[in-house]
Amino acid sequence: MTVTRFAPSPTGWLHIGNLRTALFNYLIARKSGGQFILRLDDTDRERSKEEFIDGIKADLEWLGLHWDRVERQSERLERYAEMAAKLRAAGRFYECFETPAELELKRKKQLNMGRPPVYDRAALKLDEAARERLRAEGRQGYWRFQLEHERIEWTDGILGELSIDAASVSDPVLIRADGQVLYTFASSVDDMDMGITDVVRGNDHVTNTATQIQIIRAMGGEPPAFAHHSLLTGAQGEALSKRLGTLSLRDLRAQGVAREALLSLLARLGSSQPVALRVSLDEIAEGFDLAQFGSAPTKFDAADLWPLTRAHIQSLPYQAAAERLAGLGVPADTAPAFWEAVRENIDRLDDLAGWWALCRDGAEPLIAPEDEGFVAEALLLLPPPPYGPQSWAEWTAAVKAATGRKGKALFMPLRKALTGRENGPDMAALMPLMQRIRALEPR
Ligand code: GLU
């Protein structure tokens, strides 16, 4: 059975880049009737917050990306200790004592000599007496995994055949001096224990994958199939990392972006398939194919979410908006007609409020100086509200007969006088909803 996981670190709110990773893993599981696990990478006790965990869950629920179960790394520390003991016994873990400053100096020297800054394994040469002396100096040991120097190869679900020379990678630190288990290790143990079959994540993890393949094998497991998607950039190709904070899912949601728009865009962006509005996850899953995605950075423009949101809203039946309309105070007998009249003129559901205010309170008339005489004459022919479905046709016919104006020159100044705007819903549908016409009131 296919088992995938989305493994956020709960150190912040989910952003658009996280959504891409979550969605890909979700869709793979859904397509094959498998399982999707929400795994919280929360071994960093200081930066992980319950608040963010709640936020991650709320975002995924809103999107409809339901998980089969939740796993928390902070609850699996004993298991990591057990596996660390196993790797120590197998001679794959070794204790190191260099300080960050010492490591930085080594790096600089290597770079100056034109060599890649790979950890030189000096600590491997320490004997027990030397280690004791370092401990007596007050240094605390931390643990690295000794990579086997071979080519690590895998067939990546997006990038194809990959091969990384393990000698070009530093032996990863897996356990810190304070005992904290680091992600690279915890994730390997989890992927093995939880029977994860497929991992999709950003291509910033490619080197991690190479080391995790060796770690999992060293523990006696079989690595999952890996795929690395490209990272999102801004519309101009600029790095998005600094702006990701402003592209949090909760902010986009608060701005009125529809979940269907987010899912439809992110499930296809960066692939050879066209983006189109798809309203159900089944529909989205159906055409989803990892092999259609490319390795080039993927441009993301938040503006692209609006046409999709608009298309979605315009397709909604009245029932989908009924609650929102009731909340605005639109009377139940008027609400269906109001929805029909305005839904093609809104970008987001929040825009309903403005149109309802216009119907209820009227609008400040917008009258061009050259139309003043014409509009004054037309208003003399307009009775006060309430209006019916024929009112607009009857009024404009009367105005046409009286003034001789026709077409846009007739209709546009009247629309502007009544609504204060140049565009909006069909006037014949809007007029019966208008309870007040300020242009008719004494100034
Ligand atoms: N917590 C890791 C991250 O957010 C997970 C990466 C992975 O999928 O293994 O980058």
**310: Cα within 13 Å, side-chain hemisphere:** 10
Question: pLDDT digits over 372-385, tens only?
Answer: 999 999 999 999 99
**What's the pLDDT score for residue 235?**
85
- Take atom 3 of ligand 1 and give the residue whose Cα is closest: 8
CB 181 within 8 A of CB 42: no
Question: What's the chain's Rg over C-alpha atoms?
Answer: 31
Terminal-residue alpha carbon distance, the chain = 74
Strand partners, 173: 144
Ligand 1 centre distance from Cα of residue 389 (Å): 58
- Could you identify the residue written with the tokens 């007609």? 337
Q: Indicate whether residue 38 lines ligand 1 (CB < 6 A).
A: no
Q: CA 216 to CA 130: how far, in whole Å?
A: 30
Ligand 1 centre distance from Cα of residue 88 (Å): 25
**Token reading at 383:** 């009775």
Q: Which atom of ligand 1 is nearest to the CA of 191?
A: 9
Distances in Å between the Cα of 207 and the Cα atoms of 93, 95, 162, 165, 182 are 19, 22, 11, 10, 15
- Average pLDDT for runs of 10 along the chain of length 443: 97 94 98 97 94 98 98 97 97 97 96 95 96 96 98 98 97 96 97 98 97 98 98 87 79 94 96 93 94 94 95 94 96 96 94 97 97 97 97 98 97 98 97 97 87
Q: Indicate whether residue 9 lines ligand 1 (CB < 6 A).
A: yes
Spell out the domains of the chain, with CATH numbers in brackets: 234-313 (1.10.1160.10), 323-440 (no CATH)
Ligand 1 centre distance from Cα of residue 233 (Å): 19
Ligand 1 centre distance from Cα of residue 210 (Å): 14
CB neighbour burial string for 169-199, b if at least 16 within 10 angstroms, e if fewer: bbbbbbbeeeeebbbbbbbbbbbbebebbbb
**What's the pLDDT score for residue 245?**
63
Question: pLDDT digits over 125-135, tens only?
Answer: 999 999 999 99
Question: pLDDT digits over 255-291, tens only?
Answer: 999 999 999 999 999 999 999 999 899 999 999 999 9
Going across the sheet that includes 225-229, the strands are 69-72, 35-40, 3-6, 198-202, 225-229
Nearest one of 21, 102, 14 to 59, comparing CA atoms: 14
Q: Indicate whether residue 186 lines ligand 1 (CB < 6 A).
A: no
